[in-house]
Each structure stands twice: as C-alpha cells, then as structure tokens.
Structure 1
Amino acid sequence: MKVLVFGGSFDPVHKGHVSLFRRAMKVIAPDAAHIVPAYHSPFKAKSPTPFRLRMKMLKQAFKGIGKNVVFDDYELKQGGKTYTYQLVQYLKKLYKDPEIYLLVGTDCLNDLHNWKNPDFIFNNAVVVAGKRKGYDEKPAKFRHVFLPGFFPKLSSSRVRAHILACGDVPDTVPASIAPTIRQNKLYGLEVHDWLKAHLKTNRYLHSKNVAEMAAALSDIYDVNVESAVRAGILHDAGKGFSGPELVAFCKKHKIKVPFFEDICKQEPALLHSFVSCWLAKNRFGVKDKDVLSAIAEHTLGSLQMSTLSKILFVADISSKDRKYKDAFVIRNLALQDLDKALLYAANRKLLFTIDSQKWLCPLGIDLWNHLIKQEK
C-alpha cells in the first residue's frame, strides 16, 4: 500500500505547497495521502498561529484534491515537538506494510541527514522532492524520487513578511484561504489596523514603505526578512503622540532615554523612537532584541548598531515616499554598501537639523564621530 505523507508548519499554506502536492499525487498515485501540520516543528519556534486555523486553511487550500487525502492531527495529539521518524513510525503502525513516500521541498533535501534518526527515515520511506530552478543537486545516498518539472520559489516566511509589510494578502496563497487570514487578523493584519487608527495616513504609508525597503535590504545583507519587516512597520508606532504626550508616556512607563531631560526640553519629538520600541514590545509582543534595538535607534543611532539597526536607519530616511534628492542617493548607496549609506544618512540628518536651527542631540553627534573614525 502506497502512503504519501506531507508534513510542515504550513504557516500559512501557499501555492507552492499545493503545486508540489498535486504533482506528487499524480506521480506517486498513493492509496492514501496524509497532510500533517506541525504542532511544534523541531526546527522552528512554536507558531503563534493556532493549530486549528492552520488546519482550517489546509482544508480550504486542498479542498477537492482527492478522496484519499487525510488531514491528520497526529502532531496535535502528540502535544509537543514531533520528529519525522516518529511520523514514519506512526504510519507503519496505522497501515499494514505500507510503502511510505515522504514529500519534501528542495530546501529540506540536502539537510535530511541532520534530522533526528535519519537512517530510520531512509530505511522506511522513499523521499519525494520537487526541484527549484538553480538547485544544486548533491548525490543522495537514500531512496528518492524527483518530481518532473520545477516548482516556484515560495516560502511561508515570505508570505508572512509580505502581509506584515503591506497589510494585504498576496496572490501567492490560494484565494480560498485569504478570507480566513483576514477574518482572524493573522500575520500582522492586526498591527495594520492599529497603525491606521493611531497614525496619520502619510505616516502609515511611510511605515509600509520603510518595511518594504527594509525587506529588500535584508536580502542583500543576510538579515531575517521577517525581523526587518517587523522593525520597519513598527518603527514609527509612537509618531501619533504629540510632544507632551510622548514625555508623559515615557514618564508613566519609566522608559529609559539617554539625555531625557534635554530631549524633553529641546526636541520631545525624538522620544517617538523609544515609545515605538515600548509599543513594539508591550503592545505587539515583539521579543527579538535586535528588532527592538533597531526601532529605538532608528532616529539617533548608537555606537553599537547591528546590521538590522543600520538597515532601518537608512530605510527610514530614504524610503520611496521620501522625494528629496538625497533620498535617491542614499537608496542607491544602500544597495551597494550599507556602511557608506549609513554615513551619508547620518550626515544628511545632522545638516538638516542644523539648517532647521534645531537642537543637536549628543547621540547624533556621537554617531557621526564614531562613523568618521571607522571610515578613516
């Protein structure tokens, strides 16, 4: 008896998953096919998307694909991290002498040897894989089948990043699941509702543009795209407050701000970075320290800026909604050399502040001196 099994987080399921599964169903022609969403993948943090919703979306995306398809809640019943070898053991007990076909994407193929108890998997299952264009095939020492043709380079993380950055559901997911995503405010849609309610329209659009640019730069400088987008979309969450409101908010929540008294007297609008950081952490549950630091540092910088902090600092001043000449210069520089773009951006900020006859915060001056020392 042929049993095809397709496991994964499916967070969310996308058209690449559907295309891969349909092709495998046609090529393998299994007697039974199990789609098994992970409760807690061994390779990832536990998904904040409820299992029931991921299962619901799977059923919507694969509706009508075959009568022999089982939407299996095996991992939910396990109630913790479940490894693939355990899934294979489960199927061997469920069916009498099954011929198990394990469906995986290209990304997994070369890493299978690092999975738990790989020999058990290889001895008891045939690996079925789809190829992406440009895939560097390595000789496999286990039974495997490559599905004919090539499959789109899609990932659930990219889908999540798109939704968080843009506030809409991309066409890379099946149309049947879009209503579920919208109704349940998944993958950052709740963030967009909050921002639209608390920011002026132009500021909200600016946040989306910064998130989009941060995503593009994250690909160039090897930063997690979801982290970049999260920092970008939330960096100005505190911009809806007036100067006095920012001061009161910082005092109420005991937010630590360097040169706080001077900033309060001279330029309280600068507090929005620190308030945005507080909101990201306490209102939206962001735990990533790099994301929080990037948000806090995006206006004045710091002497220990991470790559993500540099990306956000540069994206904020040069996103595509910025129409002044220097924005184009910084944007082009950022595509080639992030540190040079950062230096230029810091220079423009200082000159703008001076030309506007505003107070120069010592943090901005310290950043400039630090960058000049590094440049030399």
Structure 2
Amino acid sequence: MKTGLHLTKGLRVGLLGGSFDPAHDGHAHITREALRRFGLDRVVWLVSPGNPLKARGPAPLEQRMDRARAVMDDPRVTISDAESRLGTRYTADTIAALKSLHQGVNFVWLMGADNLRQFHRWDHWQGIMGTVPVGVLARPGDRISARTSPAARIFLHARLRQEEAHLLPLCDAPAWCFVNVPMVSQSSTAIRAQGAWRHRAGDQGAENAEK
C-alpha cells in the first residue's frame, strides 16, 4: 500500500495532520476525545514533512514519529508518514490522494479551533470542506474567535450541533461539527521554548534542522 495504511471499507477514520514538533499529551488528549465524540474507529496522525505555513523547518521526520509513538500508545491510533510517501505537502492534496487510494473509508478531517481561525489561509480550503467532513475540537480560549472565523461563517449552513457529533463520519461533505473539550495546557511551542525537545544533548540533527 502506497500510503503504508491498512484501512478497510466502512471504517470511520479521523485524520489529524500536523508537524507534531513535538507530539505531546495535548495531541493524545484531543485524539481520545475525537474517537469518543465523533464515533471514530481509528485516528491517523499524519506527521507532515513540513508545514507550508511555517517559515522554519521542523525536526527530522523520524525523530518526530518516534516521539509521537511514545506519546500516543493506543491500538486505534496510527502514526503515519503518508504525506512523505505520497509526496504531498498540502492538506487538500493529501486528502484527495487518501480518498482515491482508500475508497469506501469514511474519513473525517480533525483540527483544533486554533486552526479553524486561520483555515481560510489554507490551500484550497473550501475544497477540503467540500471533500470530507471536518471535526473541530475547541478548548475554552479558542471558541469565540473560531466560531466567528471566515470558514465558520461561510459554512454555517453545514454545521452539525454538538449532540449530533457522532453522525459526522457518515455525513456528506460539506459538514462540520464544533465540540467543546477540556484541554490540557501543553503545546509544542512551549516544549520547544523550554529547550527540552530539539536541543537535547546529542540531538545535533534536530538542532541543525532548526537553523
């Protein structure tokens, strides 16, 4: 399988993309919430080669994947380098390729409310909304700004109520659902700022990637 993923027809699969630089308990927490709230069978962490919206490159891919596996130890969650395998860098292209290669799988794109705020900056973002259902997980501080974002306003007609969240994987796109979840306070930015990730002793490769 070109993607390295083994997904069978009919599965409800959440896709959580990002640099995971580094992965942390916050990622694991929203993944567990997504599995429960959206009625998903699986979640795939798509560890990206790099984020087109970020000027500086992340730590090496294998290092980030190893960290992700250590943080998210759940048989329902797959840590994947599918974007690297497919040669895609933009979410729209990744989703199109996954849907083509894994026909019959019910994909849901997962994102935090912070991403919804700037979703209109993504490449072909309206095409993403028209291709797969989108599940948005919001911590308290991000709720108002996300709900008033351009994407939320334009696709207001396609929004499901929180109590309908479990129906999202079987909805025809465009469809999205905004759910409030208690969040842990960790962030990748804070971990990097503490110097506990890329500048560990002996982590020369990651340090060079930051320069």
The two structures have a TM-score, normalised by structure 2, of: 0.72
Larger relative contact order (C-alpha < 8 A, sep ≥ 6)?
A: 2
**Alpha carbons 2:113, 2:139 under 8 Å: kept:** yes
Tell me which of 17, 27, 30 is aligned to 2:37.
27
Note closer, same or farther for the CA distance 1:87–1:6 as it changes in structure 2 (3 Å cut): same
Deviations 1:9-28 (A, max 9, x none): 00101111111001001112
Task: Report the CA distance between 1:73 and its aligned residue.
Answer: 1.2
Q: Does 1:87 align with 2:94?
A: yes
Give the whole-Å Cα distance in 2 for the aligned partners of 1:53 and 1:25: 25
Match of 1:69 in 2: 77
Tell me which of 178, 187, 202 is aligned to 2:198.
187
Give the whole-Å Cα distance in 2 for the aligned partners of 1:109 and 1:145: 11
The code of the aligned residue for 1:129 comes to V
Tell me which of 82, 99, 102 is aligned to 2:109.
102
Give the whole-Å Cα distance in 2 for the aligned partners of 1:25 and 1:82: 25
SS at match of 1:6: strand
Give the whole-Å Cα distance in 2 for the aligned partners of 1:138 and 1:77: 36
**Alpha carbons 2:19, 2:58 under 8 Å: kept:** no
**Alpha carbons 2:13, 2:40 under 8 Å: kept:** yes
SS at match of 1:124: coil
**Alpha carbons 2:140, 2:180 under 8 Å: kept:** no
Greater helix percent: which structure?
1
Give the whole-Å Cα distance in 1 for the aligned partners of 2:35 and 2:210: 40
Give the whole-Å Cα distance in 2 for the aligned partners of 1:286 and 1:41: 13
Q: Does 1:144 align with 2:176?
A: yes
Larger radius of gyration: 1
Match of 2:25 in 1: 15
Match of 1:247 in 2: none
Task: Report the CA distance between 1:90 and its aligned residue.
Answer: 1.9
Match of 1:49 in 2: 59
Note closer, same or farther for the CA distance 1:138–1:51 as it changes in structure 2 (3 Å cut): same
Note closer, same or farther for the CA distance 1:78–1:94 as it changes in structure 2 (3 Å cut): closer
Note closer, same or farther for the CA distance 1:29–1:190 as it changes in structure 2 (3 Å cut): same
Query: Percent identity between the aligned chains?
Result: 27
| Structure 1, unaligned runs of 5 or more | 164-168, 170-185, 192-282, 288-376
Task: Report the CA distance between 1:29 and its aligned residue.
Answer: 2.5
After TM superposition, the structure 1 stretch with the greater mean CA deviation from structure 2, 14-23 or 146-155, is 146-155
SS at match of 2:194: helix
Match of 2:13 in 1: 3
**Alpha carbons 2:31, 2:43 under 8 Å: kept:** no
The code of the aligned residue for 2:193 comes to A
Task: Report the CA distance between 1:285 and its aligned residue.
Answer: 8.9
Give the whole-Å Cα distance in 1 for the aligned partners of 2:82 and 2:61: 12
| Structure 2, unaligned runs of 5 or more | 1-9, 159-174
The code of the aligned residue for 1:188 comes to H
SS at match of 2:130: helix
SS at match of 1:107: helix
Match of 1:178 in 2: none
Task: Report the CA distance between 1:117 and its aligned residue.
Answer: 0.9
